[in-house]
Amino acid sequence: MRLFTAIELPAEVRNHLSGIQTYLQTPSHEIQGVKWVEPANLHVTLKFFGEIEEGRLWELQDALKTVHVEAMPLFADRFIRLPARGPARVLAAEIGGDAGGVAQLVERIELAVEPMGFEREHRPFRAHVTLGRARDGVRLRVEGGLGHDDPLFRLDLSRQFPGPSFETSSFTLFKSTLTTSGPVYESLMRFSP
């Protein structure tokens, strides 16, 4: 089974981000080739484990139970694209507020599961909510800018950010099942103080 840990988002935050997805899908934005994340699936990924044997689930859950979680005030701070240059493969909302606390939580998760043989993520962690993905990358050519020096990045989303604030003191282990219509996420266990 495919597993990952994530911070779940309250309905108000998912609804706000869903509105941004709708805004980005209007014809005037000329963004094509993006597979948009279903609003119910919006979350902040902490660690992706990939495929693991079902027999290891209990061991993983026991390891995650040892992870200390502190209360973190968060909000969707601004729109980002990854990578920052060239065609964008991920369109996302960067998380603001206690993003440092989220990074510390990720580090505690890494330390808890490393003895089980899970390889540490090598890319620097950047707390974000993926709004859409483009396998081949997309060029963003929208009027009105954020002053970014990349000519492909001309989205003005200043009215949509920041999003509603929320506080979390938990994270969730999810099972992801890939289907032809998109992934289906199932919450397996929530971890909190």
Question: Domains plus CATH for the chain?
Answer: 2-182 (3.90.1140.10)
The residue ranges of the chain whose pLDDT is under 50 are 141-153
Phi, psi (rounded to 5 degrees) for 127: -65, 120
Catalytic sites, residue numbers = 43, 128
Residue 79: both structure tokens together: 């729109």
Burial of 163 from C-beta contacts in 10 A (0-12 / 13-18 / 19+): buried
For residue 30, the model assigns a pLDDT of: 63
d(CA 34, CA 27): 13
3-state secondary structure of 83: coil
Q: Are 127 and 94 in contact (CB under 8 A)?
A: yes
List Cβ neighbours of 146 (8 Å cut-off, separation of 6 or more): 153, 154, 155, 156, 157, 158
d(CA 46, CA 128): 9
For residue 174, the model assigns a pLDDT of: 98
For residue 181, the model assigns a pLDDT of: 82
The tens digit of pLDDT for each residue in 94-103 reads 999 999 999 9
Model pTM score:
0.87
For residue 82, the model assigns a pLDDT of: 85
Of residues 97, 100, 69, 109, the one with CA closest to residue 13 = 97
d(CA 34, CA 111): 34
For residue 137, the model assigns a pLDDT of: 81
For residue 25, the model assigns a pLDDT of: 84
The tens digit of pLDDT for each residue in 146-183 reads 444 444 445 566 778 788 999 999 999 999 998 888 88
Asked if omega into 162 is within 30° of 0 (cis), the reply is yes
In the numeric block, the tokens 């990074």 are attached to: 103
Residue 127: both structure tokens together: 């707390």
